[in-house]
Amino acid sequence: MPSSNPQPAFVLIRPQMGENIGAAARAMWNFGLDRMRIVDPRDGWPNQKAVAMASGAGRLLDEAQLFDDTPSAIGDCDYVYATTARPRDLTKPVFTPEAAMQDARKRIAAGGKVAVMFGPERAGMENDDIARANAIISVPVNPEFASLNLAQCVLLTGYEWRRESVPATPMSMGAAGDMAEQIEIEKLSEHYEQRLDEAGFFFPEHKAANMKLNLRNLWSRMPLTRADAQMLHGIMRQMVRWKERG
């Protein structure tokens, strides 16, 4: 069984090699982290190479949660960080690993559910995955050699989590249980995208994909409560009804 210690979930997005998953498990357990989630691993699951590399941290692999896609892997979380060596052209808060784990501790102490996403080894996180995150963790690496191994990135983030030992005080943003979960933000985004598409908002066609990405990024930046999400659904439904009556 996973430990009862409050902690973030570490989400490995489309990892490519079993050895790297096993090494990531070892890195997590080095710092007392045992909430591993794996999205669409390239070489299938379970993976014997991951087990061999994990050594004493094999329990994490046994208890790891497997998901088909990113939205389902982070759907129960209310704040998500995406790790990348290069901040993309998306307007989001950017943290160092140290600052991110300080922020994560405060959110978890307030009752929040937090996840950290790590991209695949070859090319790192894709923009579609980063757009679903609320913030970015950018590692200040050598710009001439910015590539970090998956396990290295997990190790670095886990170390900062462990090092941040000062008890956090609850955040003053309201009860974390009132915050919208990622699945609720996903449904809100889909609702607005569908209705705006029907209204011809995404025009011209060659700009539509980027407009949709920017809209999704907008939702992820907003600290929405469940009541906020319900109200925004209601606003859109009422606008559609009004248009149909007209």
**pLDDT tens-digit series, residues 185-236:** 999 999 999 999 999 999 999 999 999 999 999 999 999 999 999 999 999 9
Residue 4 counted as domain residue? no
Please tell me the predicted confidence (pLDDT) of residue 90. Answer: 77
CA torsion sign for 150, 165, 134, 186 is positive
Same domain, 20 and 137: yes
* Of the candidates 122, 121, 114, 116, the residue with the CA atom closest to the CA atom of residue 138: 116
pLDDT for 34: 96
CA distance linking residue 70 with residue 212, whole number of Å = 17
81 near 104, Cβ under 8 Å?
yes
Question: What backbone phi and psi angles, to 5 degrees, belong to 16?
Answer: -100, -35
List average pLDDT for each run of 10 residues in the chain, which is 246 residues long. Answer: 88 96 97 96 94 94 97 97 79 93 96 96 83 92 82 95 68 67 96 96 95 94 93 95 86
Among candidate residues 110, 41, 107, 120, the one with its CA nearest the CA of residue 80 = 107
For residue 206, being part of any structural domain is answered with: yes
Q: Is residue 84 part of a domain?
A: yes
- Domain boundary residue among 108, 137, 163? 163
Q: Are 212 and 193 in contact (CB under 8 A)?
A: yes
In terms of C-beta density within 10 A (0-12 exposed, 13-18 middle, 19 or more buried), how is residue 151 classed?
buried
Predicted pLDDT of residue 87? 62
Q: What is the total count of domains within the chain?
A: 2
For residue 116, give the 3-state DSSP assignment: strand
Does one domain contain both 86 and 150? yes
108 alpha-carbon distance from chain centroid: 15
Whether residue 43 sits in one domain with residue 159: yes
In this structure, which amino acid lies at residue 165?
S
| Residues 63, 46: Cα–Cα separation, whole Å | 11
Residues 62 and 158 in one domain: yes
Token readout for 30 is 């080095």
Which of 115, 137, 163 corresponds to the end of one domain? 163
Nearest-angstrom CA–CA distance, 233 and 201? 18
* Domain CATH code at residue 135: 3.40.1280.10
Same domain, 50 and 120: yes
Q: In this structure, are 44 and 132 located in the same domain?
A: yes
Sequence-distant (≥ 6) Cβ neighbours of residue 184 within 8 angstroms: 224, 226, 229
Please indicate, yes or no, whether residues 150 and 185 belong to a single structural domain of this protein: no
Amino acid at 133: A
Give me 116's structure tokens. Answer: 């950290």
Residue found by looking up tokens 């209310």 in the block: 78
Which pLDDT does position 88 carry in this prediction? 63
In a domain, residue 69? The reply is yes
pLDDT of residue 148: 82
Q: Is residue 102 located within the same domain as residue 218?
A: no
Tokens in use for 166?
A: 């000062």
Domain contains 62: yes
Residues 185, 157, single domain; the answer is no
Contact 44, 21 (CB under 8 A): no
Residues 114, 33 within the same domain: yes
Helix axis angle, 208-221 relative to 182-198, nearest 10°?
Answer: 140
Which one of 119, 137, 163 terminates a domain? 163
C-alpha to C-alpha distance for 125 and 24, rounded to whole angstroms = 16
Domain that holds residue 185: 180-245
